Amino acid sequence: MTLAEAIMAPTTEDLVARAEALIPTLRERADQCEAENKVPDATIADFQAAGFFKILQPKRYGGYEMDPETFYEVQMKVAEGCMSSAWVLGVVAVHNWQLALFDPQAQEDVWGQDPTTLISSSYMPRADVTPVEGGYRISGRWGFSSGVDHCDWAFLGGLVKDPETGVPDFWTFLVPRKDFRVLHIWNTIGLGGTGSHDVTVEDAYVPAYRTHRSKDGFASTNPGAKVNPAPLYKLPFGQVFVRAVSSSSIGALQGALNTFLETGAKRKSNNTLASVSGDPDVQVLIAETQSAIDEMKTVLFRNFGVLNEFARRGEAADLETRLRFRYQSAQISGRCCELISRMFYLSGADGIYRGNQIARTFCDIHTGRTHVANNPNSVGRNFGGVMLGAPNTDSFI
């Protein structure tokens, strides 16, 4: 990045203000987003113009290399307008951070001609992997590739035996659009606009430099460090990615609460004709929801403040801290599910119609909870076990 570009780079406040300005437009496009099973092209263009995909992208490709807190704050603000759009922004934009961990040649393959090129993913370990000279051949079918219709590359998961231990390790394979096919099967009760379709690959060659090992993401020994030395790229992969699939629930809950305050809580009961705003249950829900949102955001920003300090010192956060932070991320969707459920019930019969934002958010947040990264049970068992002296069983932290 040149001096002139650095001077022109937006601040966190600039980016959040741009996201807030998009909220009315995102709400207007929500029906289209859901009906077409994809984030509208116009919305992706708006995100590109606002610089949202650059937040975690390396400066050497025109990115801003900003702290993750900025990225998640923008994502949560976008989610106030449309959770599907925020989910796709979160997942796709965080790939610009992961690509910075890859070998420099892989980064050049994707961004060399066009630094606005986007990457989708499915980290399911579905690849049938065959080692060959110079790389690997992979085949398989992967599900839940959010935003894939907007992407020219894909990160696809697979297992490869560690040559030192013989134990299978999770790897990410970077594959160009010409080597995978999209199966448009996405038809869900929530997050319909994410277009999280299946992708298939048939015997594609992936050079070794276009792979990324989970153990490198865990230990911050990534091959991209030689060209992207910023502390941002020393953060653990498992900490950065999981927040991309939990933080949109916080923003969507705030958006639903805003709507509830504007309309739902001021409506009159169809039975008593009394204002719902006088209902003690409504009053308590509003207080609890706003307090919970504040708490969840505070923990998110606090956690990354801690992780950033470790990265700036060139140190790895201790295991217990990483497990605790990972568990706190996994709790987010469940907490938001409980609060949006209560809001939905207190919206009365008026809230059950299609197109109602609270009803849509109810479905979206519950659908987001089904993501494996948002399941606190397995994460909590491992965290609790480690605190009791058992070995850690999860490298995705």
* Predicted confidence (pLDDT) per residue in 86-110, tens digit: 999 999 999 999 999 999 999 999 9
In the chain, which stretches have pLDDT less than 70? 1-7, 264-266, 268-274
Query: In 10 A of CB 142, how many CB atoms?
Result: 26
Same fold, 119-212 and 245-387: no
The DSSP result for 258-327, as a single string, is: HHHHHTGGGSBPTTT--BGGG-HHHHHHHHHHHHHHHHHHHHHHHHHHHHHHHHHTT-PPPHHHHHHHHH
Residues whose CB is less than 8 angstroms from the CB of residue 289 and which lie 6 or more positions away in sequence, other chains included: 253, 257, 339, 343
pLDDT for the residue 162: 81
Instruction: Give CA–CA dist 275/95, Å, rounded.
Output: 47
Q: Closest Cα partner for 184 from 154, 157, 158, 145?
A: 145
Instruction: Give CA–CA dist 144/110, Å, rounded.
Output: 22
Q: Which residues of 362-371 are buried (b: 16+ CB within 10 A; e: fewer)?
A: bbbbbbbbeb
H or E stretch covering 252: helix 247-262
DSSP symbol at 275 = B
Instruction: Give CA–CA dist 335/339, Å, rounded.
Output: 7
pLDDT in tens, 132-177: 999 999 999 999 999 999 999 999 999 998 877 888 889 999 999 9
Tell me if the domain spanning 119-212 has CATH number 3.40.630.30. no
Tell me if the domain spanning 3-111 has CATH number 2.40.30.160. no
Is residue 68 within 8 Å of residue 56, measured between CB atoms?
yes
Instruction: Give CA–CA dist 163/151, Å, rounded.
Output: 33
pLDDT for the residue 374: 97
Tell me if the domain spanning 245-387 has CATH number 1.20.140.10. yes
214, two tokens: 């989970």
| Long-range interactions of 274-277: CB distance < 8 A, separation 24+ | 276/346, 276/348
DSSP symbol at 194 = G
- Residue ranges of domains in the chain: 3-111, 119-212, 245-387
Instruction: Give CA–CA dist 152/353, Å, rounded.
Output: 37
pLDDT for the residue 3: 45
Instruction: Give CA–CA dist 102/41, Å, rounded.
Output: 28
Q: Closest Cα partner for 201 from 175, 220, 227?
A: 175
pLDDT for the residue 278: 83
Q: Residue 154 pairs with which residues in a beta bridge? A: 120, 175
pLDDT for the residue 272: 57
